[in-house]
Each structure stands twice: as C-alpha cells, then as structure tokens.
Amino acid sequence: MLSIIIPFHNEEENIPVLTDRLIDICSKHNFEFEIILVDDGSTDNSKSGIQNSKFQSHKILKLISHKKRLGKGQALFSGLQEAKGDTIVFMDADLQDDSHDIPKLLEKLDQGYDFVNGIRVGRKDSFLIKIYSLFAKLFLKVFLHSPYTDINCGFKAFKRKVLNNFTFYGNNFRFFPLAVYYNGYKVTEIPVQNQQRIHGKSKFGVNKVFIGFLDTLTAYFLYKFSERPLHFFGMIGGAFFSTGFFIALYLSYERIFYNKLLFNRPVLLFAMVLILVGIQVILTGFIGELIVYISKKNSS
C-alpha cells in the first residue's frame, strides 16, 4: 500500500484541489493508497472541507488534527504513526508539488532504491532564499558530504524500512534524507516540478532562514560528533585554553624579563577566564564520551 502524508496549516483553498488530483492520479495508476492529512493547528476552514469529503467515508482520506501548531516535524510523525503503507510519500499541501510526479518517484523505488528525493525545477525564490539555499548546499556538501542537490525539497518517496533509528521531532525532518544516507540505504534524486503558489501564504520567511542555519549546525554536530563528542568539545575547548595560555605566557614573560606589573592589566583576567572556559568545555566532552560509552554498553 502507498501512504501519502500531507501536513498542512491554513490551506483551505488548496486541500480540496490537492486531494482531488491525488485521488485521480492514484486511481488512474491502480495504486492501493491512502491519503493522510495532518492538520497542524489550522485556524481557517481547512478541516471542514476534508470532513465533508465524499471520499472520507471510503477511508481513502484520513484526517489527523493537532489542537495547536506543533510544527512540520511533529505533523509528519503523527502521519507516520497512522500510515499503513510499506511505501510512503511526503508532499506539501500548497500545490507547489506536482502530483503527476508521484509515479516517477515510485518508479525509482521499483528500480531498487530505498529513498527518492525531489529536486525542485522551476523555483521562483527571492534573492535572500537563493543565497541561503546556496550557502546551505555548500555547507552540506563540504562538511556533511551530502549526496543531495535539494535536501529541503518536501516531495520525497521512500520505503518504510528507512525509518529505522530515526525519530521526527522539531525541525529535524530537514535532515531525514541525510540520516537515511548515513544509515547505508540506497538513495537517489529526480527532478520534480515546482509550481507557483496560487492560494494562501508561504510559511517560509526570514526567521525560517535563521532557524534553518541553526538546524544545519545541529545536523553537523549530531552526524559528525554524536559518537565522539570529545572531538567537537575538545577542538573548541582547546582553542579557548590555548589562547588563554599563550596570553598568560606572554604576560609572564613581560613580568619576568621586563618587570612589568600585572595586577592592573585586565588582559590577565581575560586569559584566566579563557583557560577556565577551555577546561570546562573539554570536561564536557569527556562527560559526553562517558555517556556514549555507557549507552553503547547498555544497548549491547
């Protein structure tokens, strides 16, 4: 069975059009399918249109409602808990994802791939979003060795087995494709049409750019240092400690050879603070190593 999971927030004009398109396309290709719509705290009439749909009585449509907005990650997780299919498709509700691309995504899965990510074609983004996308792409390629061209594309298809060892929370859904790749599954990507939004307002803004940057740093830490935290904290702590140590060494040199007084020099206090902070950060890395060791020992 194919499970199509669609999280949405205030998409009352788009949801009926999208569900009609999906039902038409999936029926045309004789797919056994279900459409799971996750209402993430909408304040418009999105939900009423779904509840009155003639298809809901046939259990083609399933509606999950959050009483308040919990975020896309939690919405996807709620949809996955309800999904019955061995094959799953994620897509957005704003009609920018072309439903006709679903058979192309599934065809790649039939060819032996475990995960298929979309590459949006025909995007019309602002200059700020283009700059952010370019920076994020370079960061992911250089530091995380990402195989993806457009990791933030919400249109993707995958086999249920790739969900092993991954839990959706917060904004980490952005790096679900990376987790699949790092876990050794066979991944690929194909071009998908990205159409212009007609109804409603985009949820992507300047604040999402900053949040996305923080999420990128989080992913870098989790996937690079989750099993060796001392490497991460050691580099940072070592930089603080070394800077403070060399400042203190220079001040000591001046005191010994030039008889300069130190008590009236704030830079000495600054050096001591750097040394103490460096030691604390390094000790945090040791604690992280201990936690990883105990966790692995208990799991084995």
What pLDDT, on a 0 to 100 scale, did the predictor assign at position 51?
A: 63
Give strand ranges (E) for 67-162: 87-90, 115-121, 156-159
pLDDT at 110: 96
* 3, 210, 255, 278, 288 from 245: Cα distances, Å: 59, 34, 15, 10, 25
CB 192 within 8 A of CB 101: yes
Q: Which of 278, 179, 180 is nearest to 226 (CA)?
A: 179
Task: In whole angstroms, give the CA distance from residue 74 to residue 111.
Answer: 30
58 has a pLDDT exceeding 80:
no
Is the pLDDT at 205 greater than 60? The verdict is no
Q: Are 8 and 37 in contact (CB under 8 A)?
A: yes
Portion of the chain with pLDDT greater than 90, in percent: 50
Q: What is the DSSP letter of 194?
A: B
Quick one: CA torsion of 119, 123, 129, 130, rounded to 10 degrees?
Answer: 80
pTM of the model: 0.76
Give the pLDDT mean for 180-198. Answer: 90
Residue 127: predicted pLDDT: 74
Residue type, 266: P
- To 10 degrees, the CA torsion angle through 22, 24, 27, 32? 20
CA pair distance 73, 246, nearest whole angstrom: 46
Q: Mean pLDDT across the chain, nearest whole number?
A: 86
Structure token digits, residue 292: 């990883």
* pLDDT confidence band for 226 (50 / 70 / 90): confident
**Domain 2-126+149-201: homologous superfamily in CATH:** Spore Coat Polysaccharide Biosynthesis Protein SpsA; Chain A (3.90.550.10)
Residue 71: C-alpha distances to residues 9, 40, 65, 197, 204 (Å): 9, 7, 12, 20, 13
Q: What is the mean pLDDT of residues 109-125?
A: 91
Indicate the SS3 state at residue 3: strand
Query: CA–CA separation, 256 vs 65, rounded Å?
Result: 72
Q: Return the number of other C-beta atoms located less than 10 Å from residue 212's C-beta.
A: 18
3-state helix, strand, coil in the chain (%, to 5): 55, 15, 30
With residue 38 as reference, give the H or E element that holds it. strand 33-40
Most confident of 38-42, 122-126, 149-153, 174-178: 38-42
Predicted pLDDT of residue 185: 95
- Specify the pLDDT at position 199: 66
Q: Tell me: the pLDDT tens digits for 7-57? A: 999 888 888 889 989 999 999 999 999 999 999 999 888 777 676 665 555
Burial class (CB in 10 A: 0-12, 13-18, 19+), 297: exposed
**Joined tokens for residue 289:** 């190593």
Instruction: Please give the pLDDT value at position 117.
Output: 97
- Which of 59-63, 131-135, 184-188, 269-273 has the weakest average pLDDT? 131-135
Name the token pair of 202: 């985009």
* Tens-digit pLDDT profile for residues 75-110: 999 999 999 999 999 999 999 999 999 999 999 999
1 contact partners, CB below 8 Å, separation of at least 6:
32, 33, 34, 84, 85, 86, 87
What is the Cα–Cα distance from 262 to 52, expressed in whole angstroms? 79
pLDDT at 83: 94
Question: 283 vs 14, 200, 277, CA distance in Å?
Answer: 52, 50, 10
